Homo-oligomer: A and B are copies of this chain.
């Protein structure tokens, strides 16, 4: 796995670009990663990890999906992925309403094609959407590993919860899924995650 190790080290390294402040003004306060940065990170992950997509995957469509998948959060905000089910349902409705408002800002034919890409990502039925979703789940795991538990520690997330995400990663990319599984094992060893409960 040395090759993949190198690729993931690169992806962790480039996280530092998020601290380079430019001249262009922006209306936003204090920190934590934001969704634009996250989306950019996923686009670069798609480029770097392309060989982990199933053969025949259209990488251009994956990149397009990841750069637009979170646009709906402009209206709906970001919900923590381990939030409770009723909150998830409210969020899904708010995101659909946001998509209904945002994409029609574009000229009609393009609004429909970008909305279709967003729907495709949400439905997770195509190889491209599954791979894009795998990247979306892998990125916070990587960051948590390099920040001594990160959001897992802050929110008391358990290994059981993380392993349900690993299954989604495996579905989009068996090799990235296998890698994620070894990360969870290492996180348990290092005490960053409580071990899964016995069934």
Task: Using CB atoms, name the residue of chain B closest to A18.
Answer: B36
A119 CB, nearest partner CB in chain B, Å: 16
Task: Using CB atoms, name the residue of chain B closest to A43.
Answer: B67
Q: What 0/1 readout, one digit per residue, does chain A (40-83) give for beta carbons within 8 Å of chain B?
A: 11011001100000000001100110011011011001101100
A87 CB, nearest partner CB in chain B, Å: 14
The number of residues on chain A lying at the interface, defined by a beta carbon within 8 Å of a beta carbon of chain B, is 67
User: Do A19 and B27 touch across chains, with their CB atoms under 8 A apart?
Assistant: yes
User: Do A32 and B25 touch across chains, with their CB atoms under 8 A apart?
Assistant: yes
Number of this chain's copies in the assembly equals 2
Task: Using CB atoms, name the residue of chain B closest to A76.
Answer: B20
Using CB atoms and an 8 Å cutoff, list the residues of chain A in contact with chain B.
3, 6-7, 9-10, 13-41, 43-44, 47-48, 59-60, 63-64, 67-68, 70-71, 73-74, 77-78, 80-81, 102, 105-107, 110, 114, 139-140, 143-144, 147, 150-151, 154-155
**Other 17 A-B pairs with CB < 8 A, given A20-B36, A20-B78:** A6-B105, A6-B106, A7-B106, A17-B34, A17-B73, A18-B28, A18-B36, A21-B33, A21-B78, A22-B78, A24-B32, A24-B150, A25-B33, A25-B154, A28-B31, A37-B37, A40-B43
